A and B are shown apart, each in its own frame.
Chain A
Amino acid sequence: MLADQALPGTSLTERFKRGLTAPICLTWELTYACNLQCVHCLSASGRRDPRELTTRECLRVVDELERMQVFYVNIGGGEPTLRPDFWDLLDYSVAHHVGVKFSTNGVRLDQRAARRLAGTDYVDVQISIDGATADVNDAVRGAGSFAMARRAMDNLAEAGFGEFKISMVVTRHNVSQLDEFKQIADAYGARLRVTRLRPSGRGADSWAELHPTAAQQRLLHEWLSARPDVLTGDSFFHLSALGAPLPGLNLCGAGRVVCLIDPVGDVYACPFVLHEQFRAGNVREPGGFTRVWRESGLLLRLREPAAAGACASCGQFDACQGGCMAAKFFTGLPLDGPDPECVLGHGERELARVCLPDRPRTEPGHSRGPVFLGRIAARAGA
């Protein structure tokens, strides 16, 4: 909400580019453990990491966030509810004025958990599905995951939780189901959140097969433009070059207003770049998260004006800002060039030149074993 857009001075976007005293959108992944192994998992989760932050260390992070006035944190994983101390951390955080929005596949959201959540203020729940039907969802997220998520949604609705969120990542196979996703959300009185597929984590292996085609991107832009009540996490700013920008911050927030704390306490510039090159520090170091946010050389560099590079001569640079840094990085494209999904097709041309083995990877990752995309039956319009 830009309450005072009417006031003179530099635009907020320009201010944001130079960074804030604390993040606005902080993602905190509590564990690499997950009951699922989605083919596009950003953090390549599966197995718990033995070095994960202890309960006591997590509480200290919450204390710090309270001091920095980080008003809410987006908790994820892995599957955060698999941590035995998850509910205690949630209560502690809320009691310390750090609201919690957490993402889950629903595995632990039984009726009892749903009633508990319905009775807690400052908690938002986001349940992930990546298909509006079991076949499309389960091909990406694993057998039985659609039914599990729907049970969790039923439980929240029955417990009177109110407006929860249903989060989906747009793929080539589910983009034709957007209306069905919206119907599911509406039926629960939930909010639909649509986000962009990134080639990060295990997504590096599935992106080429799953990312929407150019024609699908145009449909997506139209669909979203007509539905301002659908949340996007501001993740589609690369589509702004197609016409009117979508609502929200049309800017890469990495290190400026966004960052990630991973389960072992490593701080990365954004949730989509879990790679050594974008590691800003660790919350266990002296000075903790505050010092990393305020003094890390990497984050300070990200707050400097970025060169438009190969995009400098493009008339649309102001609209898309060159797109997503993580999407470029993991597809092997230069960071000062076009996004791989550049709507003008500049990324596609660049991609053709990238030698596949040279692309950076999230290594070694926490997968339990090889993960493959399931078979998806041909669908009309897909």
Chain B
Amino acid sequence: MAFDLHRAYRLSPAVAVRPEPFGALIYHFGNRRLSFLKSPRLVTVVRLLDRHDSAADALEAAGVPGRQRARYAAALAALADSEVIDAR
């Protein structure tokens, strides 16, 4: 299913997040894929998904500036594609 900024998401229970200086490294124990979160703010966004009714709200809460929203949305879409985040 295509990523929808207005839906609620969560970090998949099958992934582990390892903090790194550049952001975080994510491993999906189910599909065994590694992903990289290349900014600490994206890590914040991903961790906030659970507590907000939409991905857009999580971006807002993490303080992502308006002009960067599209890029962050693209990053979240890629994470949804690789099953790192799930719609809930």
Contact = CB atoms under 8 A, between A and B. Distances in A.
A145 B33 CA distance: 32
A122 B31 CA distance: 9
Contact of A2 (B18, B38, B71): B38
Contacts of A5: 38
B28 to A, nearest CB: 9
A3 B35 contact: yes
A1 B39 contact: no
A271 interface: no
Interface residues of A, number: 24
A21 B72 contact: no
A15 B20 CA distance: 10
Contact of B38 (A12, A20, A97, A99): A12
Contacts of A1: 33-36, 78, 82
A6 interface: yes
Given A4-B38, A7-B71, A22-B18, A97 B29 contact: yes
Given A3-B35, A71-B27, A97 B16 contact: yes
Given A12-B22, A12-B38, A71-B16, A6 B74 contact: yes
Contacts of B33: 1
B15 to A, nearest CB: 10
Contacts of A24: 25, 34
Nearest to A94: B29
B61 interface: no
Interface string B55-88: 0000000000000100110110011001010000
Nearest to B39: A7
A72 B32 CA distance: 9
B78 to A, nearest CB: 4
A4 B42 CA distance: 9
B11 interface: no
Indicate the member of B21, B38, B84 with the most A CB atoms within 10 Å.
B38
A9 B38 contact: yes
B69 to A, nearest CB: 12
B19 A21 contact: yes
Q: Output the residue of A7, A15, A122, A124 with the most chain B CB within 10 A.
A: A7
Contacts of B79: 3-4
B75 A7 contact: yes
Nearest to B81: A3
A3 B19 contact: no
Interface string A122-135: 10100000000000
A4 B75 contact: yes
B37 interface: yes
Nearest to A25: B34
B42 A69 contact: no
Contact of A3 (B18, B27, B82): B82
A18 interface: yes
8 contacts: A1-B35, A7-B38, A10-B22, A12-B38, A20-B25, A21-B21, A71-B29, A72-B27
Interface of A: 1-10, 12, 15, 18, 20-22, 24, 69, 71-72, 97, 99, 122, 124
